[in-house]
Amino acid sequence: MFILLSSISNCPKFSNFFKSIISLQKTETMPKIVFSIAILFLFSSLTSCSNSSREYRSDHVAVGVDADFDHLNPLLIQLSLSREVCTLIFPSLVKPSYDPAKGTIEFQPGTAKKWEFSDEGRKAVFHLRKDAVWEDGKPLTSHDFKFSYRLYADPKIASTRQHYLNDLLLLDDGSIDFDNSIETPNDTTLVLTFRKPMAPAIILDHFNDLMPVAKHIFESIPPEEIRMKAAETPIIGAGPFKVKEWTRQQKLVLESNETSVLPHPAAVSKMSFIIVPEYTTRLTMLKSGQLDAVISAGGIKPKDLPELKRSNPEISIKPVKNRYFDSIVWLNIDGQQYRKNKKIEPNVFFGDKRVRQAMTYAIDRQAIIDGFMGPEHAIIVNTSLSPAYETIANRSLGTYAFNPQKAQSLLREAGWEPGPDGIMQKNGTRFSFTLAAPAGNPRRNYAATIIQQNLRDIGIECQLKIDEKLVFLKNQNEFQYDAALSGLAAETLPFQLIIWGSDFENRPFNSSAFQNQALDLVINRLNTPLPESESLALWKQYQKILHDEQPRTFLFYYDELEGFSNRVKNVEVNLLSALYNAYEWELD
């Protein structure tokens, strides 16, 4: 019925007729058989409506997504798709590009037309374009960047990226020395000074991710009010798109920003993101022409590809490879104690690494892959590192192949024994927990049922809980879940270095609250300029620590199969983004 209503809303010649028959049917003046015939007539007419809709959207791309965006303010975003959309609206210092042949990421000019590093990576100077403006006509200057960096670092805002600024010069009290570490000698020069040598790739990646907001919009809002006033704050950007309309839980409409030089106004006049939580509805709307693309939340199910190829040859599949991984986040600490008094105590189930290792041995990850994605669309991993980085992979590590007997042995070693009801117990505590997962993701829902059965087979009771996506994210950030089926877009090496950290309160991607001093030291070293041989050795140590500790059970990296109508031209998806060049998309 949702699809029918959506189609009719674009078909004025049938809208009034549909309302009339619904009204008559409700008053029981229309026999059921006549009502059914009328509905069938409307369905048969949808093809012509669909064609009319395509004509109506001749310069308007409609993209289907599973859930709404958490924010459209780069200071506040956490969801990966929200970040991708923000890169279309807000300026960035540079533009990353991925070279699949080399497996490396290079940086091209963005707001900064050129840059240089000196003093062994302690200083970076960015020379900005003179012609960039915010969409309201105000100049975009180095002062916007400095002002925004102060906001990112402010704990009152609680940005997920605030720790990107921790390597700047510090004052005696340990706070950032903004006056001396971020200098703006003129409107087009931005100078960053760090307290230690920094690898250029780390600087470019981190500060590119710190998209600025307009100083003239935000300087009148106290930092502590920015989050609570997010819904009423104007969304003013300088990128190729600007926001025309955002109806929460329904749609986001972007339109081309005709004043943008970053890099230019979007090629299409409008791009809409339509919120359609149910996968089969998204797919049907793509097939009928109501949507031009379906992205995110796994994209198109692999099992639907053969039928899609036969029945809808006008739809192309563009895989995003080696970007996303799924995992089970095991909360390493007692979440209730931490929320109550900030006390760090081991989680009764997952505070012991032997238990976390047992969980990984107990789960048949290949069965999940074979049953849902197929072996050609996913690869089992045992750390967060993307398979794209083959040259630094630590191939000496074990595989954690499916082995229930090994899992039970590790559980016994950790003090868990079968209870009278067959469920493992320790000191009177039954091994019974809830595994949370976000709604609208069929891949994770499928995985959850296999995980539940696998754990039951070794004497662990696992109950499933499905929460709406934004609720799930909030609860995970607050350490509400002992276990959560979750994942990340972890495409770059610099991003790998911000996932983990013992100061987990300031590392929102470390949702397992994993603490490991050896890993902290490795990460600190990898943030500095290093000889290639030392860097390689450290990356292998990084993988070994995660492999041995299993703060998450890393399930697999998977291909996200984005579906596009062939009428959308110039589409490039890659390891960095499904919307990588959305401002270049055109319609036939």
Question: What is the band of 297 on the pLDDT scale with cuts at 50, 70, 90?
Answer: confident
| pLDDT averaged over every residue in the chain | 91
Residue 195 shares a structural domain with residue 146 = yes
Integer Cα distance of 337 and 323 in angstroms: 34
Confidence of residue 58 (pLDDT cuts 50, 70, 90): confident
DSSP state of 302: G
- Does residue 404 share a domain with residue 346? yes
Q: At what angle do helices 517-526 and 532-549 cross, to 10 degrees?
A: 150
User: Peptide bond preceding 185: is omega within 30 degrees of 0, i.e. cis?
Assistant: no
> Which residue bears the tokens 């199910």?
301
Q: What's the CATH code of the domain at 143?
A: 3.90.76.10
Asked if residue 18 has pLDDT above 90, the reply is no
Residue 47, phi-psi category: left (phi > 0), alpha (psi -120 to 50), beta (remainder): alpha
**491 is a domain residue:** yes
pLDDT per position as a tens digit, 427-450: 999 999 999 999 888 899 999 999
Share of the chain above pLDDT 70, in %: 90
96: β partners? 107
179-196 mean pLDDT: 98
pTM confidence score: 0.86
Mark whether 399 and 332 lie in a shared domain: yes
Confidence of residue 32 (pLDDT cuts 50, 70, 90): very low
19-33, 290-304, 315-329, 386-400: segment of lowest average pLDDT: 19-33
Are 375 and 477 in the same domain? yes
- pLDDT on residue 491: 86
Three-point CA angle 177, 191, 151, nearest 5°? 50
Counting DSSP H helices and E strands in the chain, the numbers are 21, 22
The answer to whether 239 touches 74, Cβ cutoff 8 Å, is: no
Residue 167 has pLDDT above 50, yes or no: yes
Q: What is the pLDDT of residues 300-347, one digit of tens each?
A: 999 999 999 999 999 999 999 999 999 999 999 999 999 999 999 999
Token pair of 495 as six digits: 């991003």
DSSP structure class, residue 560: E
Pairing of the two strands 432-438 and 461-467: parallel
Shared domain for 255 and 402, answered yes or no, is: no
Is the model's pLDDT at 519 over the cut of 80? Answer: yes
CA dist list (Å): 207 to 92, 213, 229, 295 = 8, 13, 25, 27
Query: Hunting for tokens 């969304």 — which residue is that?
Result: 235
Domain boundary among 226, 248, 264: 226
221 with 250, same domain: the answer is no
Q: Is residue 180 part of a domain?
A: yes
Check residue 51 and give its pLDDT: 52
Q: What is the gyration radius of the CA atoms in the chain, in angstroms?
A: 26
- Whether the CB-CB separation of 587 and 270 falls below 8 Å is answered with no
- The answer on pLDDT for 1 being more than 60 is no
Contact 480/335 with Cβ under 8 angstroms? yes
Q: What is the pLDDT of residue 42?
A: 45
Q: What is the pLDDT of residue 54?
A: 53
Average of pLDDT values for 238-246? Answer: 98
- Domain presence at residue 112: yes
CATH number at residue 244: 3.40.190.10
Closest CA to 159 of 90, 203, 212, 85: 212
Give yes or no: residues 387 and 530 share one domain.
Answer: yes
Q: Give the domain-ending residue among 226, 247, 271.
A: 226
> How many structural domains is the chain composed of?
3
Kindly state the tokens that stand for 333: 């600490």
The answer to whether residues 411 and 521 belong to one domain is yes
For residue 479, what is the DSSP state? T
Residues 376, 506: one domain? yes
Q: How far apart are CA 369 and CA 111, in angstroms?
A: 42
Tokens in use for 379? 């690869």
pLDDT at 577 over 60: yes
**Residue 206: pLDDT band with limits 50, 70, 90:** very high
- State residue 104's pLDDT score: 81
Residue 53 domain flag: no
Please tell me whether residues 402 and 497 are part of one structural domain: yes
* Residue 568: φ, ψ to 5°: -90, 120
Residues 378 and 464 in one domain: yes
Domain that holds residue 260: 60-70+239-292+567-587
Helix 2-9 vs helix 279-288: angle between axes, to the nearest 10 degrees?
40
